[in-house]
Structure 1
Amino acid sequence: MTVPITPLRPEEYAPVPDSGFGALETEKGNLPLESVAVTAHLSGLTAGVEVAQGFRNPYDVSLEATYVFPLPPRAAVTKFTLEADDRVVEGLLKERGEARADYDRALAQGQRAAIAEEDRPDVFTIRVGNIVPGERVTVRLTLSQPLPYEDGAAEFRFPLVVAPRYIPGVPLEGAQSGGGVAADTDAVPDASRITPPVLLPGFPNPVRLSLATTIDPAGLDLREIRSSLHTVDTTTGETITVELRPGERLDRDFILRLAFDASTSLALTPDDEGQEGTFTLTLTPPADAAATPAPRDVVLLLDRSGSMTGWKMVAARRAAARIVDTLTAHDRLAVLAFDHDVNRAFTGGLVAASDRNRYRAVEHLSRLDARGGTEILAPMEEALRLLDDPNRDRVMVLVTDGQVGNEDEIVERVGAKITGDSGIRIHAVGIDRAVNAGFLGRLAMLGSGRCELVESEDRLDEAMEHIHRRIGSPLVTDLTLTAVDLDLVEDTLTHVGSLFPGVPLVVSGRFRGRGESPAIAVRGTADGEPWERTVEGRGAGAPAARAVWARAELRRLEDRYTIGERELESRIVATSLRFGVLCRFTSFVAVDSRVVADGKPRHHVIQPVEQPSGWEMPMNMSAVAAAAPIRMEKASFAMDETFGGAAPGAPAPPPPPAPRMMRRTPAPDTPSQPFAQPPGAPPAPIPSPGPGAGPRARGRSVSPGPMRPHPGRERQPSLDSVRALLAEELVRLRAAAGRPDQERRRYLSDLASRLRVIDQMAGGHADLASLAAELEGAERADADLARLWQRAVDLLGRLTGGAADAPAPPDSTRARRPFWKRT
């Protein structure tokens, strides 16, 4: 039979705007975030930045939009405004619990409101509620940040995407703290706040990005400007302007490097009120000082987890080899490569850094590939045990992308051992185009070391030169500051540290009153001899100095709180409120007095973020989709559940488990971060750890990842290997019990696809296969929803042996402290 094909006439069809191959649109519209505009002004070694985020409600009901985004880890956020309907509402900085209560109360009363919160030093969340249909609103953040300086160049780095992070630990029951895709765990109690969905590659550019930077040398001899990763246009005049070209995406950090000569100075910036002020001391290294090398113990930690695949693993191996090559026969060396296990180049710990052992270490590094999960705590604790000789220089070098969610746990466990006079220095080399700079910076600060960020292989050699000098002996040690004709406020100085070649010492603090000739004397020891330098003070009109110091002080106090000084909470809140700088214990909240909606928002959407540049997609995505047929008629539901979900802190149960991310590696990392892939594809569970797994992995249910076992974990299939996954499914099933019937039917149908995958992992289990077959028909009108739901609860409870069957508290949630007050 021959069937003719007749083309449509132009008047018979109408093209959909912004459509094309790879475009995604649902009957409810597109995503709420329309634009991100960054405007920065660089003056000397300080940057003032304004970030404007534009949201639009494409729905026919009121909307609450959530956006998880990064900011520079040393930036001080000092202002927050909400603009809508020709109105501008100034945000107020309040204690975090109080700000949340104000925000929730405003939404319940139908008022438009917005709240800005800090979840990590470099991860923030904005929620804008009661955006009425078709309305556009803008939120603005104002911040100040210092520019790190080394070897004659300053760097302005502005992050644009929150990369997926590895989430270890056992999932917590009850309502989640946020609307992200990973469940809160005992190791990361706010995991659901730092794991936004990730867009599939090829998704049409969903956000208009603009970034303009003006540069004022402020009297310095600016010799060169270099831009990394992005394409820019530059104009010159009285000031220099650098702008991103249209079409750039929010998938990697924006980086400018400015070459000029720094100078020694002491800037005194008085407050607008009273006699107090902020000082900033910059001291360049002495040109006539030379350090005598001392015997060193160096432990090198190399991250080989799945997120390090591709160019990152190549760069990490090169970086580690460069560090090994800098050692001498007087030094000792240990090399630990880690993912879910720790792999050692030498048995027995530290060995002499002889020519033979250095060759063996480099050869060992050359064979490493990316695989597995980022269990970073165990190798760091092993490294600290090896660095136990106080008569030698003790150095730990960590090479990683830092993409973990349990930063607080690591800082708490490691920080307690390296604070004070431990003598152990920690240097971090962060390799990624969207690196977790906040976490690596915290480690380097606690360990009196350096954090070097590498966004490309071209940048590697320059970065390793910096690390090489820092691994070497400092020029001046045991530094102390003594004020002359200047009254310094006790316990306000930032970290003093030591003087290294090419790296100016920058110290700031608070002063209370000054005389006619204020100065600060810096004393220390250079090559065994006393060393002193006096720097005279001068008045400065640098309003950002107060905020930059306050941000550094808050980070210092928050790290001490994390390590165990819980009594500092009230001091942290008081410091934040006094200086008007956002921290993890406070929030900016803006409430419009006008009532615009009938109660709380009817729809909630968490904005998905870009896939970070350089992160690879898996080649075996089709295998996952084949495990359960993809049903495209559920696209609208997927938009609500995968991109949306309950508002943070709301009593509504969390969405069904979303498909997990995979990468093109033999055994990928498990960062608990999905791409926005078609609904119906099941999560690919991670197998139980084998006997070789570290203490963090054993006995824990890690967020699901790829189906294939990690190398070294091959085992015979059994129900025991998937029991932890079944327990997690039971917890999520109970949490979803309060949903509307139609959503519960869809949930059971999706659960069927996941149980089929788990059944395959277990090598075939009759009861699991039978339950999956029954649940596949849950969406039929004649299916008995109550019976199927109870059948799933009973069987999962029996197969997990009661592990997830403990009676819930009366309110069906586990009592726990607010997520920002981690226990």
Structure 2
Amino acid sequence: MRYGLYHYVEQRPVVLPLLNVSAEASIKELAAQVKLNQAFGNDANFPIEAVYAFPIPARAVVTSFVMIKQDGTRVVGKVQEKEEARKTYDSAVAKGKQASLMEQQHPDVFQVAVGNIPAREQVKIELVYATELTEDEENDSIRFHLPVHIGARYGQAPTSTLSPRNPFADPSDIQGTFSLNITTTIESASPINKVACPSHTVSTELGPDPSLPNYKNLPFSNYARVSLSSTAPLDKDFVLTVKSAGLDAPRCVAELHPSPSQDTVALALTFVPRFKLPDVARQEYIFVVDRSGSMEGDRIAAARKALVVMLRSLPHKDSLFQICSFGSSYQLLWKESRPYNQDTLEEATRHIDTMQADFGGTEIRKALKGCFATRKVDRPTAVFVLTDGDAWDLDGVLEEVETNVTAAAESAPLRVSVLGIGYSASTAMCEGIARLGNGTCILVGEQETSFTGKIARLLKAAKTPPISNISVDWGRAVEAVKAPEAVEDDFEMVDEVVATSKSKTLNIFDESVDPTAVEETAPPPASLVKLPPPSVVQQSPFNIRNLFPGTRLNVYAILKGRNVPQTVTLRGSTPDGAQIELPISVTLSHLQNEARAPTAIHALAARKIIQDLEDGKHDLRATLSDPDDKGLLTRTVKASIVRLGVTYSISSKHTSFVAVDETTEVTPFASERVEPHRPPLGLPPPPPRAAIPAPAPPPPSRRAAPAVNLSSYNYGAISSLVTTADRSALAQPRLSSMSSYLADESDEEMGDDFVCDSVESESEESDMEMGFGGGGYSTSSARKGGKSKSVALTDPVEALARLQSFDGRFTAQGVFDFIKLKDGVDLQAVRDLFPAGASDDVVATVLAMAFLATKLDASVERDSWEGMYEKAKEYLEEALTGMDAKVSAEELEVGVVKLLA
């Protein structure tokens, strides 16, 4: 299987040589701008029309599209309504003009057609997109994700008029020399503490780019540069993490539109909430685990690890839980959710340790529908989906989630959160489920060394009561939405004609009348769309429903007028009636944008508003002359999306980029012969075999290609950055071993606080089980009854999680073997600190608490173990109360810490 730019000759796909790929990313605080350059060569002796697809994160927005010709001429794309853009492109290609068209095929997959590429010439496509960044393992760290391939997604891909349906019918080999370069510049408002690349080995340089005119005056510690150069295509997405103090603090950045014709200011508000509320009482927890073929290897191992840690953090009082495995079909662990206790916890853990990626395809919707149907409707339900999201049925899955979440009773709400697993996890699927499920989405790489902190934040959000009536005061008076004023009809009302008493004769056998004739009446014309002017405040999310501790909140707005507010205020209320009010100062952005590209904050805000419109989150119904006219509403939503896309020059479901070179025309199907005086432009000569027949016939129309039924085909879209075999052929079954627990090493240039991590692109696993002191910990998931294979662990948090009971206590035997004491200190010395009658489980619980609080590496965030610790503390305090002990839990912990090695 080959990926890249391709065209058809005699209904056979021929791949054009991918000569080089470069990605330039500029990370500035919490957003990034990425410029992709991809050069292809037409090694045929006639002009061709070719297509290819490329991925970007679903949260990103394409802001610039340029076709660069062989002679360096830049043909800049313009945004048009989708059908209009297609007509512009088709007309240009028919006239022999060189043109290109970019359309959204999926929220995170775009497709490009390039028409009339001259014989023996190169073509370069330059794309610029802006994207917000997500949280990483720690609150003050961010994660930059550059997708390099589209997952081999299950099901039927969205249809497209740009390409044939089956691009993988034995295409010819890619020729030419390939080169790949990724460069990333990082700018932070405060000193950078850590830069890591968990996906690849990279080169990192500290300090600002010397090419900047004033780089000597810039603070050295606030800048870094990361680069990757390769002559081989990447086999997985590129991920970069940056840690800098204050990234979680509240901030609001304003951006004035540079065009005088656009009288607007865009704002981006963001922060990581820090608060604590009592857990939701009497909640049901359902874990929906993807066990399809694409989860094989490290991904299913990551899912097992996540489940083990999450189960230990569930509230032990009055909780129900269930595990659902899915692939082509789904399977529940129990007929219905069971009470959370020690027996069910151990049974579930034994089940988790046997999980493999052996369920076939990825039918997410079926599994969700089954879980929603069996959930308890007398209490809140939190659903966690653990998946790589590699399925094409995005609309069906999102509809299933939204329908059930909306239908849930206010007293028994349903929330759906997602743990996206794998560097190539579908951001459209994972983030879409969480967005419409009023939950959270966290992404982890299958080879990340530690992600227990992310798991803890995901679970903490699900246990937090929903905060209602959240709003932002943007400093603008907002008028109530109303329907357009009635327009006078262009006809007159007349009195009904009253029949006279004069009789009339009716011929009941009129030979001129055909009783079988069907009277054709033209349907009434569709109601005219009359878009109201843009609101004074356009905000996304339209309704803010998610405010969770430890999970970043991003809110965007486009305001009329160029008056920048000094402060914006976030307001809301808690379930117990407490009021929330957080004022946030506004700073004006002076960040430089990519030349010719729209301003980043306006583009991101417009993209988020469009996403709300697509999700049905808007108030456009109130603006309609007939609010019950569904067709009118659909057309009004589309018109609103088109207006935003054209106004801010961004791609969307209903807007596309089209670029037409008006300066020259080519002869559509030139002779195969190459002119003697014309050099081959650095491309290899055509292959001697008949991959390209001679004389060259006209390539068949892209619309004339035979349709292929792919309903059961594991469809993998074309990638712009990679050439790789099907993942299922590469994936190897692996043991249930966990990621390595690695201590950070300091960098002398930045001092002890700076760490620059990088790992090899392929992880190596050992078949040996080692003691924790030597790099691992071996434990069995079952303490009693049944047989379960031994699981080799190197993450101390997971190792301790497996030793914690449902009620918070830690089992004595496992903890006593796990935790090391100082030389000369035995277990009896520890027991002597406790009051008479204290059980070994009480002693073990304090030992585990002391270890978690003081002996973990500094890189392990408190979020990753805090839930376990708090649950243990609750058990300990109840146990001490039952013993009438005079010593407190804190005093015991302080005493035990002194005895730890």
SS of equivalent to 1:556: helix
Instruction: Give, in whole Å, the separation in 1 of the partners of 2:40 and 2:361.
Output: 35
1:499 to 1:120, Cα distance in 2 relative to 1, 3 A: same
Which residue number in structure 2 is paired with residue 383 of structure 1?
371
Which residue number in structure 1 is paired with residue 835 of structure 2?
none
For residue 114 of structure 1, the aligned residue among 78, 97, 100 is: 100
Pair 1:155-2:208 in alignment: no
Q: CA deviation at 1:491?
A: 5.3
Q: Conserved in 2, the CA contact under 8 Å of 1:430 and 1:451?
A: yes
Pair 1:449-2:439 in alignment: yes
For residue 536 of structure 1, the aligned residue among 564, 585, 591 is: 585
Pair 1:144-2:130 in alignment: yes
Q: Conserved in 2, the CA contact under 8 Å of 1:32 and 1:65?
A: no
Instruction: Give, in whole Å, the separation in 2 of the partners of 1:580 and 1:28.
Output: 33
Amino acid aligned to 1:79 = S
For residue 306 of structure 2, the aligned residue among 278, 301, 319 is: 319
Which residue number in structure 1 is paired with residue 346 of structure 2?
359
Using the size of structure 2 for normalisation, the TM-score is 0.60
Instruction: Give, in whole Å, the separation in 2 of the partners of 1:576 and 1:59.
Output: 36
Q: Encode CA deviations 1:326-359: one digit per residue, 9 max, x unaligned.
A: 2224211121111122111001x22212221122
Instruction: Give, in whole Å, the separation in 2 of the partners of 1:367 and 1:638.
Output: 51
Instruction: Give, in whole Å, the separation in 2 of the partners of 1:60 and 1:334.
Output: 62
Which residue number in structure 2 is paired with residue 579 of structure 1?
648
Equivalent residue runs for 1:236-255 within 5 Å: 236-238=206-208, 239-255=223-239
Which residue number in structure 1 is paired with residue 81 of structure 2?
95
Equivalent residue runs for 1:420-569 within 5 Å: 423-457=413-447, 458-473=449-464, 476-484=467-475, 489-490=536-537, 492-494=539-541, 496-513=544-561, 514=563, 517-525=566-574, 528-541=577-590, 543-560=599-616, 566-567=634-635, 568-569=637-638
Instruction: Give, in whole Å, the separation in 1 of the partners of 2:84 and 2:384.
Output: 41
Q: Conserved in 2, the CA contact under 8 Å of 1:485 and 1:519?
A: no
Which residue number in structure 2 is paired with residue 295 of structure 1?
282
Which residue number in structure 2 is paired with residue 754 of structure 1?
none
Instruction: Give, in whole Å, the separation in 2 of the partners of 1:81 and 1:199.
Output: 27
Instruction: Give, in whole Å, the separation in 1 of the partners of 2:538 and 2:43.
Output: 51
Which residue number in structure 1 is paired with residue 393 of structure 2?
406
Which residue number in structure 1 is paired with residue 198 of structure 2?
228
Q: Conserved in 2, the CA contact under 8 Å of 1:296 and 1:394?
A: yes
Q: Encode CA deviations 1:402-457: one digit per residue, 9 max, x unaligned.
A: 11111122223332332487632211112223211121111111112222222224
Q: CA deviation at 1:267?
A: 2.4
1:168 to 1:109, Cα distance in 2 relative to 1, 3 A: closer
Q: Conserved in 2, the CA contact under 8 Å of 1:28 and 1:636?
A: no
Amino acid aligned to 1:550 = A
Q: Conserved in 2, the CA contact under 8 Å of 1:523 and 1:533?
A: no
Q: CA deviation at 1:507?
A: 1.1
Q: Conserved in 1, the CA contact under 8 Å of 2:95 and 2:665?
A: no
Amino acid aligned to 2:97 = Q
Instruction: Give, in whole Å, the separation in 2 of the partners of 1:351 and 1:76.
Output: 44
Instruction: Give, in whole Å, the separation in 2 of the partners of 1:148 and 1:491.
Output: 23
Which residue number in structure 2 is paired with residue 104 of structure 1?
90
Instruction: Give, in whole Å, the separation in 1 of the partners of 2:207 and 2:384.
Output: 43
**What runs of 5+ residues in structure 2 fail to find an aligned partner?**
1-11, 209-222, 479-534, 592-598, 619-629, 673-686, 720-728, 730-901
Moved more, 58-67 or 276-285: 276-285
Pair 1:259-2:306 in alignment: no
1:636 to 1:571, Cα distance in 2 relative to 1, 3 A: farther
Amino acid aligned to 1:467 = L
Q: Encode CA deviations 1:377-398: one digit per residue, 9 max, x unaligned.
A: 1111122223453x63321111
For residue 181 of structure 2, the aligned residue among 210, 223, 233 is: 210
Q: Conserved in 1, the CA contact under 8 Å of 2:147 and 2:424?
A: yes
Paired residues, number: 587
Which residue number in structure 2 is paired with residue 40 of structure 1?
25
1:259 to 1:490, Cα distance in 2 relative to 1, 3 A: same
Q: CA deviation at 1:118?
A: 1.2
SS of equivalent to 1:492: strand
Q: Conserved in 2, the CA contact under 8 Å of 1:486 and 1:519?
A: no
Q: Encode CA deviations 1:485-538: one digit per residue, 9 max, x unaligned.
A: 665835533252333222332211122344875432423217652232222334
Q: Conserved in 2, the CA contact under 8 Å of 1:431 and 1:455?
A: yes
Using the size of structure 1 for normalisation, the TM-score is 0.65
1:256 to 1:517, Cα distance in 2 relative to 1, 3 A: closer
Larger radius of gyration: 2
Pair 1:131-2:131 in alignment: no
For residue 651 of structure 1, the aligned residue among 701, 704, 709 is: 704
Instruction: Give, in whole Å, the separation in 2 of the partners of 1:251 and 1:345.
Output: 35
Amino acid aligned to 1:119 = Q
Q: Conserved in 1, the CA contact under 8 Å of 2:131 and 2:604?
A: yes
Amino acid aligned to 1:340 = S
Instruction: Give, in whole Å, the separation in 2 of the partners of 1:512 and 1:433.
Output: 39
Q: Conserved in 2, the CA contact under 8 Å of 1:340 and 1:375?
A: yes
Q: CA deviation at 1:475?
A: 8.4
Which residue number in structure 2 is paired with residue 369 of structure 1?
356
Identity of aligned residues (%): 25
What is the RMSD of the two structures over their aligned residues, measured on CA atoms? 3.7
Amino acid aligned to 1:426 = V
Instruction: Give, in whole Å, the separation in 2 of the partners of 1:516 and 1:452.
Output: 32
1:196 to 1:34, Cα distance in 2 relative to 1, 3 A: farther
Instruction: Give, in whole Å, the separation in 1 of the partners of 2:133 and 2:268.
Output: 13
Instruction: Give, in whole Å, the separation in 1 of the partners of 2:116 and 2:471.
Output: 54
**What runs of 5+ residues in structure 1 fail to find an aligned partner?**
1-26, 183-194, 604-632, 661-668, 677-683, 685-823
Instruction: Give, in whole Å, the separation in 2 of the partners of 1:199 and 1:526.
Output: 60
Instruction: Give, in whole Å, the separation in 2 of the partners of 1:508 and 1:554.
Output: 12
Instruction: Give, in whole Å, the separation in 2 of the partners of 1:205 and 1:229.
Output: 27
Q: Conserved in 2, the CA contact under 8 Å of 1:400 and 1:429?
A: yes
Instruction: Give, in whole Å, the separation in 1 of the partners of 2:540 and 2:467.
Output: 19
Amino acid aligned to 1:427 = S
Q: Conserved in 1, the CA contact under 8 Å of 2:239 and 2:423?
A: no
Q: CA deviation at 1:593?
A: 1.4
Q: CA deviation at 1:79?
A: 1.2
Amino acid aligned to 2:704 = P
SS of equivalent to 1:508: strand
Q: Conserved in 1, the CA contact under 8 Å of 2:61 and 2:130?
A: yes
Amino acid aligned to 1:55 = F
Which residue number in structure 2 is paired with residue 338 of structure 1?
326
Q: CA deviation at 1:245?
A: 2.8
1:475 to 1:154, Cα distance in 2 relative to 1, 3 A: farther
Instruction: Give, in whole Å, the separation in 1 of the partners of 2:688 and 2:715.
Output: 23
Q: Conserved in 1, the CA contact under 8 Å of 2:476 and 2:536?
A: no
